[in-house]
A and B are shown apart, each in its own frame.
Chain A
């Protein structure tokens, strides 16, 4: 039932490809492995340096370190999941209009969706404005990945669930993580880099 709904939704979204030149360009621009991840990383770099006062900057830097930690752990969870469960990509067994190269790793959960959503959630908890921008970028990337024929919609939703779960997990363990974050910030500060 869920697989059927997933396939139908995928077919509908993928049917949008190849119909409108502008939409195709937008999808091809957004779907690649670089555009949105780099944009997100640049926003994270600004987070490290921004803040007009010391407490504000320290808060931003804490968010930066926590978000990177969540990203790394989410990536690890997806790798473990891929070792246990393999879902073929949509273009295996379906007639798909591809706007991207055909990847060979497991389709579920989307690694990109998990990692970016973990990052966005970690930022959103402390910084609503920047977090919302990152969530929007996650949404665009997810839409582009499905429309381009790389993922089923549930792969993206699964990735987002993995990402959100990881961040909540890290925040639940924050009491153990925080002393390391403080230590790291102090070390950078001593070197005039924080």
Chain B
């Protein structure tokens, strides 16, 4: 039960994050170039994982407690975010040379930076900047 629950949440979160970052234009976290593909991916992944989770077993039996559910949900969402960061950084590794702004100041904070570069590139960029300042 716990394994099914965590896996379902992980897959569903992976899909929903794609739809949200596609809508928000956070290209550095997107697996796809066009947002429409991110929406389709989200729809397929969430529908398929829901169908699997709710039909694989009887879910109307005593299972996880509320607090356990919450804890596993956070763990699954966190893992989905890590997977998104790693996968999108690999898929979009050439994004920077084409899209990053010329001035460092034009990069916004947090997700705004990821509109122009991948997560790994942003971390590298930030470390380099800190080293220069030191």
Interface 1/0 per residue, A161-194 and B, CB below 8 Å: 0000000000000000000000000001110111
Take A32-B60, A99-B60, A192-B111 as given contacts and tell me if A46 and B16 are in contact as well, using a CB distance cutoff of 8 Å. Answer: yes
Task: Determine if A38 is an interface residue (Cβ-Cβ < 8 Å).
Answer: yes
Q: Identify whether the interface residues of B are mostly helix, strand, loop, or mixed.
A: helix
A100 to B111 CA separation, bound complex (whole angstroms): 43
- Total A-B contacts with CB atoms under 8 angstroms apart: 89
Return the CB mask of B46-86 against A: 1 if under 8 Å, else 0. 10000001100001111110110100010001000100000
Q: How far is the CA of A99 from the CA of B112 in the complex (A)?
A: 48
CA distance A33 to B122 in the complex (A): 39
**Number of chain A interface residues as a range:** 20 to 34
Which residues of B sit under 8 angstroms from A86, Cβ to Cβ?
Answer: none
User: Does the CB pair B12–A38 fall under 8 Å?
Assistant: yes
Contact of B23 among A34, A50, A100, A111 (CB under 8 A): A50
Instruction: Check: B113 CB closer than 8 A to any chain A CB.
Output: yes
List A contacts of B19 (CB < 8 A).
Answer: 46
Q: Summarize A's interface: helix, strand, loop or mixed.
A: helix
Partner of A49, one of B8, B21, B112, B123: B21
Given A28-B60, A46-B19, A49-B24, A35-B111 contact (CB < 8 Å): no
Most chain A beta-carbon contacts within 10 A, residue among B12, B16, B110, B123: B110
Contact B66 A115, beta carbon cutoff 8 Å: yes
A31 touches B123 (CB 8 A): no
- Residues of B within 8 Å of A51, CB to CB, are 24
Given contacts A34-B5, A41-B73, A50-B24, A193 and B62 within 8 Å (CB-CB): no
Given that A49-B21, A52-B25, A193-B110 are contacting pairs, would A31 and B66 also be in contact in the complex, using a CB cutoff of 8 Å? no
Which chain B residues border A48 with CB–CB below 8 Å?
A: 20
In the complex, the chain A residue whose C-beta lies closest to that of B28 is A192
Using CB atoms, name the residue of chain B closest to A50.
B20
Does B101 have its Cβ within 8 Å of any Cβ on chain A? no
CB distance B111 to A57 under 8 Å?
Answer: yes
Q: List residues of chain B with CB under 8 Å of any chain A CB.
A: 5, 8-9, 12-13, 16-17, 19-21, 23-26, 29, 46, 53-54, 59-64, 66-67, 69, 73, 77, 81, 108-114, 119, 122-123, 126
Known: A33-B63, A54-B110, A115-B66. 5 other contacts (CB 8 A): A32-B59, A45-B17, A49-B29, A111-B66, A190-B110
Could you list 14 A-B pairs, sorted by A, with CB under 8 Å? A34-B59, A38-B12, A42-B16, A45-B13, A45-B77, A46-B19, A49-B21, A52-B23, A54-B110, A75-B67, A190-B110, A192-B119, A192-B122, A192-B126
